[in-house]
Amino acid sequence: MSQEQDVQRLTDTMAKFTAYIGKHLPTDVEAKLKELREKETKPLAKAVFMSMAENQEAAARLDRPSCQDTGMIQYFITAGAKFPLLGELEEILREATLEATRKAPLRHNTVETFDEKNTGTNTGTRSPWLDWEIVPGDDGATIDVYMAGGGCTLPGAATVLMPGQGYEGVADFVFDVISSRGVNACPPLLVGVGVSTAAETAARLSKKALMRPVDSHAHHPNAAKMEDLLEEGLNELGIGPQGLSGTASVMGVNIESSARHPSTIGVAVSTGCWAHRRGRIRINADLSYEIVSHQGAVL
């Protein structure tokens, strides 16, 4: 195959996968929603969970996006330095976004900042948004596709705490964000928390935390413990599905961290909504692929 044919092949795969993500929730999110639905005892909250399940079933049956807001498309790329189409990947993902927008179809959400004009294509300046990590020696690529809806993006916040505020300060910040603005993001939420030096490093980590499966834990045992404590505490707020009160406020809390400057604690929160549309695909060097996030998915 020529390189041109390879580019076309990967563009097709990524366009189909991007469109698929808009219509099907990942296996871990579906399982968590089922668990919360079965555990819920309040009739109104239970009814909301039931209508979420019916919505998902209808989206799959009718081959339509599961929420009107198909979001801004973001790709989180972990690419091997030896991946054969590394240099072409940016253009491939741009084309894939255009194609998915036409074929799914996806709502046109991309507005050029300062022009205040919708491009009508879901592409624009730095859109789709690409986040890169390069892995030396690897010849494949793992790509997370994320649809950043308006509501689920709205609560996002970052700050830098004084060192004396400690981990209690981190917990306070998370509670402030979720209790004041979490309801905008169609709960139950997946809460991503980044802890790092600065606002921007914490913010990036908080978003990457949303790419981790629900019910997964951070590597560090103290971070894992904090995830459990935050989840328990946030559920005690009783926000419930769609903010109408209920047993669960969140699907879970995922924390990602980095080493940091001793004088600062950067902390950020990103939120994913109940319709947390993200998907992970592993592309091999020969461009065969495996869909990691959605069991039994066929493109």
> Which residues make Cβ contacts (< 8 Å) with residue 190, sequence separation at least 6?
29, 210, 214, 250, 251, 252, 254, 271, 272, 276
Question: Would you call 68 helix, strand, or coil by DSSP?
Answer: coil
Region binding ligand SF4 by CB under 6 A among candidate stretches 35-43, 144-152, 155-163, 231-239:
144-152
Q: Which of 19, 29, 106, 152 binds ligand SF4 (CB under 6 A)?
A: 152
Measured from the CB atom, is 7 or 152 closer to ligand SF4?
152
Minimum distance from residue 100 beta carbon to ligand SF4 (Å): 16
Interface with ligand SF4, residue 104, by CB under 6 A? no
Q: Which of 124, 140, 149, 240 binds ligand SF4 (CB under 6 A)?
A: 149
Q: What type of residue sits at position 192?
A: G
x/- binding map, residues 262-281, to ligand SF4, per CB under 6 A? Answer: -----------x-x------
Judge whether 79 and 131 are in contact, CB under 8 Å.
Answer: no
Report CA-CA distances (Å) from 288 to 27, 41, 91, 107, 285.
21, 45, 19, 29, 7
Interface with ligand SF4, residue 178, by CB under 6 A? no
Interface with ligand SF4, residue 185, by CB under 6 A? yes
Q: Which of 105, 151, 169, 233 binds ligand SF4 (CB under 6 A)?
A: 151
Judge whether 191 and 175 are in contact, CB under 8 Å.
Answer: no
The Cα 104–Cα 166 span in angstroms is 46
Interface with ligand SF4, residue 67, by CB under 6 A? yes
Minimum distance from residue 226 beta carbon to ligand SF4 (Å): 25
Q: Which of 21, 186, 210, 253 binds ligand SF4 (CB under 6 A)?
A: 186
Interface with ligand SF4, residue 89, by CB under 6 A? no
Question: Would you call 174 helix, strand, or coil by DSSP?
Answer: helix
Judge whether 213 and 28 are in contact, CB under 8 Å.
Answer: yes
Q: Say how many Å lie between the first and final Cα of the chain, rounded.
A: 21
Q: What type of residue sits at position 250?
A: V
Region binding ligand SF4 by CB under 6 A among candidate stretches 148-156, 229-237, 278-286, 291-299:
148-156
Minimum distance from residue 152 beta carbon to ligand SF4 (Å): 4
The contact set with ligand SF4 (CB under 6 A) reads 67, 69, 149-152, 185-186, 273, 275
